[in-house]
Structure 1
């Protein structure tokens, strides 16, 4: 097979992508609707507005209309690019044996157990690839009806979920230089902060429940932290129940198959290391000993770490409230006659 034939064979199929994701889910509905809306707005501004504001005809036609054309052209280009990338990510996911969802919004609570996933409100994901024991997506929380995010003010982040051989205490390793959870607006609280090794104190902070310090150091050994520096720099890693979550602020370019292959390779390296570190772990504090399925269990005190808004989350929340507070103060001041805006 020639190189050109191979490229044609491996080229993502837009038709398959649209059939699989649907007219709306693929983003095609947004592209078509955006183009129709753009044509109507440009026609209204370019033809209708000069009839009302005849003295500004030249300004509208030669300045306003070109600006609108550029804005709509850029928006359409970005929408088409998003759909094209989705088709390529789907091709990579299917080739890797995973099911793919291009984008999805839900008003229900998030189904994942990690710290940053909202328990109320809703969530949205994109580039969601789902395998039997590995899953990845770009995640952002949606506020509930009162505008509240239950997990704090969470910015978008990418997560990779993979399974562990047994249940473990709730442990979180955050990067000291560029923590994804901190950037998302969250900070771990209510547990113990460990400095496992002088060699890695400047790179990581290890969070664990009270009285689980030895367990945390048993699992997060220096060679595991060294592996994270090598293959997942700047990422946070969370272990909860029998699952691991790798968090990253930047979205990996999964539409490039080489990046997707590299991501799966990183997950496999971490999985193998965590498998060795956790397979024989037993929580001696657990009165149940083992579950009905025969797997070890974790005592209630080791199940969940608390979280709060990070300093960045507080700062961003405050910045969002400032305009509303300013308007409220101006209205009250006007009503009391302290100031006059007339």
Structure 2
């Protein structure tokens, strides 16, 4: 098998101990150095603190790695040549012996292949604004429609078209539940302004849904557990609305289109909120990682 699973992760999977997959794009491309490495180590420690095994995923020299040691984490954090890999890029990266950090779609794909059932991340990709013109939609959605993994996230970023994303997930048959809420979170915000149909209130309830998916033959698609950032740690909604509106206007005025839109908007949010959006981002990721470990523990109890 092309996958390289660390000894710690392999033993945990084989003995049904809880394992949580973690993406590496946040390390390589989401945070400035040296903060990125500190956060990577912190997130792994948070998983261990909840009694689970972290499995950070990346591709190094063409080898998809499930579970990184410290030297490998340092390489992902510090090597400027590490690419950003979606699941469609994986065959190219393996064949070319390239190195890359895995996005949500690539992490979910590789983690599921390794037999990991729980994946914790920040936020999902989704349907972009002006989709009727651009047809721009994240590869995350289609991949999750055919991958049996539970994804703990803080919803989707508010720069996206949230209602269209929810509609697309429904069309694709991807199960979505709010964790402790009947509202879909907006990543930086506790509430995107849109409802969800189902609410789960404990890791044990999430694990029961996962078991029901298996019993019903529905585990070929993902379960999204949308865990809102605490209100005390969210980006101020008024500031968020103002800065996002300014960012969208600047994007249109400068003619930014296609794949350049998302990084442009995110960079604008970070710079014009004095880093508050980044702090909300990290608060969301930390909460998701801890919850992911608790869900993995409940699932492992079987």
TM-score normalized with structure 1 length? 0.26
Higher-Rg structure is 1
Bigger relative contact order, structure 1 or 2 (CA pairs below 8 A, ≥6 apart): 2
Of Structure 1 and Structure 2, the greater strand share is in 1
TM-score normalized with structure 2 length? 0.28
